[in-house]
Amino acid sequence: MSWSFRIGRLFGIDVYIHATFFLLLAWIVIAQYLSTRSAGVAVYEMLFVTLVFGIVVLHELGHALAARRFGVQTRDITLLPIGGVARLERIPENPYQEFVIAIAGPAVNVVLAILCLGWILARGSLQSEIPANLLHADLAGRLLSINVALVVFNMIPAFPMDGGRVLRAVLAMGMDYVRATTIAASVGQVFALLLGFGGLVTGNPFLLFIALFVWIGAAQEASVVAARASLAGIPVRYAMISDFRVVSPTDSLEAIAHHVIAGFQQDFPVVEDGRVVGMMTRSDLIKALADAGRQGNVADVMQRAFVAVHPDEALTEAFQKLQTCECHSMPVLKDGQLVGLLTAENVGEFLMIRNAVRQQASRSPAPLVSAPRA
Ligand SMILES: [Zn+2]
């Protein structure tokens, strides 16, 4: 994520903090100072918010470490002012695995809440022996309520909350994955409406914001899963671009800029002696042109590490790779030879054409065009 700074590494996972988080800290310090005129209170509140975000990191680590048990790596954890995001390489479609990964985050908060409760109960009996200033009056109580709130908020049965994934996983244990997702997404949208209604009645803008967030999350999850389902059983070669241009490592950046303007292609496979040695992407080209002008050639700028797919590979898997590699296009290689390019737009076009042909075919007994068979 841009505007994120790495603050450390836990269990081999990089933890980032988004720049807007510092704005939140600054806002808390200023607001507290203005209302209490006490620098001590302002600093204490800032430390408290930092502690809360430490708890959010533990929650995200719960997901990440549960995922690791199933061989799913986490690319990074980012802290935003609205919470944390653990970017898993993929979400397993095995309902049991998804259930464990989704529940692991809130489970961390349940454990922390129990510890806080233990602290509060123990404090009653220790009060006489430990100086009062070591047992700050409300810290344990505040941490307890934060953990309870995190459990309740995350277990709202709606995507993209953990509760939505738990619900889908439980449903998918008894039915087809796509159907489970559709039902879970509808339940999420009902919750979004209730939250939105609650927000309007109480005049709470925060509830309205969450309602919107949940509504969009549910729609997105349903459409991604539906797209994946309609790709099932289709190999990459049906949806790949086979009419494309390649470039050579010695081509000048100026020449590539002309190709980008003259055609539809954004990324170009870089071929040397018949083999793909890298990918020249439009964003790298733009950056290079801004940094060094028209000097330089493809070899200076191309991405030497790239993800490739096989023409017989399932489109569902290739589509997942496209989403996780953060690349716009992937070369399709057969026995080391370049045979195509795969982009998300092209997969989208393939689906549109396929659905159109299917609709037509369902209306007329003898279809004029036959789509690649699933
Ligand atoms: Zn979570």
Listed in sequence order, the DSSP H helices in the chain are: 19-36, 39-69, 95-126, 139-154, 162-172, 177-202, 205-230, 236-239, 253-262, 282-292, 298-301, 315-325, 344-363
Cα radius of gyration (the chain): 26
pLDDT the model gives residue 366: 46
Measured in Å, residue 95 CA sits from the centre of ligand 1 at 17
Who's near 7: CB < 8 A, 6+ residues apart?
15, 16, 17
pLDDT the model gives residue 368: 45
pLDDT tens digits, 54-87: 888 899 999 999 988 988 888 888 887 667 778 8
Q: Alpha-carbon distance 249 to 105, whole Å?
A: 46
pLDDT tens digits, 293-341: 777 888 888 888 888 889 888 888 888 788 777 778 899 998 888 999 9
Measured in Å, residue 357 CA sits from the centre of ligand 1 at 41
Closest Cα to residue 303, out of 324, 282, 334?
282
What values do phi and psi take at 370, rounded to 5?
-110, 130
How many alpha carbons fall within 13 Å on the CB side of residue 302?
A: 26
Type and span of the H or E element at 78: strand 74-80
Q: Alpha-carbon distance 153 to 195, whole Å?
A: 12
pLDDT the model gives residue 126: 57
Under a CB-based contact definition with an 8 Å cutoff, are residues 84 and 57 in contact? yes
Who's near 149: CB < 8 A, 6+ residues apart?
none
Measured in Å, residue 110 CA sits from the centre of ligand 1 at 12
What values do phi and psi take at 263, rounded to 5?
-125, -170
Who's near 373: CB < 8 A, 6+ residues apart?
none
Measured in Å, residue 63 CA sits from the centre of ligand 1 at 7
Who's near 128: CB < 8 A, 6+ residues apart?
none
- Asked whether the predicted pLDDT for residue 131 surpasses 60, the reply is no
pLDDT mean over 94-123: 89
pLDDT mean over 173-187: 85
Q: List C-alpha distances in Å: 339 to 58, 235, 248, 273, 333.
A: 45, 14, 16, 15, 6
Handedness of CA 86, 92, 97, 102 (dihedral sign): positive
- Asked whether the predicted pLDDT for residue 2 surpasses 70, the reply is no
Measured in Å, residue 64 CA sits from the centre of ligand 1 at 10
Q: Alpha-carbon distance 199 to 206, whole Å?
A: 7
Measured in Å, residue 165 CA sits from the centre of ligand 1 at 10
pLDDT the model gives residue 211: 84
pLDDT tens digits, 97-110: 889 999 999 999 99
Measured in Å, residue 118 CA sits from the centre of ligand 1 at 24
Measured in Å, residue 94 CA sits from the centre of ligand 1 at 18
Measured in Å, residue 14 CA sits from the centre of ligand 1 at 17
Q: Alpha-carbon distance 133 to 140, whole Å?
A: 13
pLDDT the model gives residue 104: 93
321-359: buried (b, 16+ CB within 10 Å) or exposed (e) per residue? bbeeeebbbbbbbeeeebebbbbeeebeebbeebeebee
pLDDT mean over 122-127: 66
pTM: 0.64
Measured in Å, residue 184 CA sits from the centre of ligand 1 at 17
3-state secondary structure of 249: coil
Measured in Å, residue 85 CA sits from the centre of ligand 1 at 8
Higher pLDDT, 361 or 367: 361
pLDDT the model gives residue 1: 59
Find which of 102-116, 202-216, 281-295 is predicted with most confidence, using mean pLDDT.
Answer: 102-116
**Least confident piece of the model among 118-127, 229-238, 266-275:** 118-127
Under a CB-based contact definition with an 8 Å cutoff, are residues 232 and 185 in contact? no
pLDDT tens digits, 208-247: 888 887 888 888 877 777 777 777 778 888 888 888 889 9
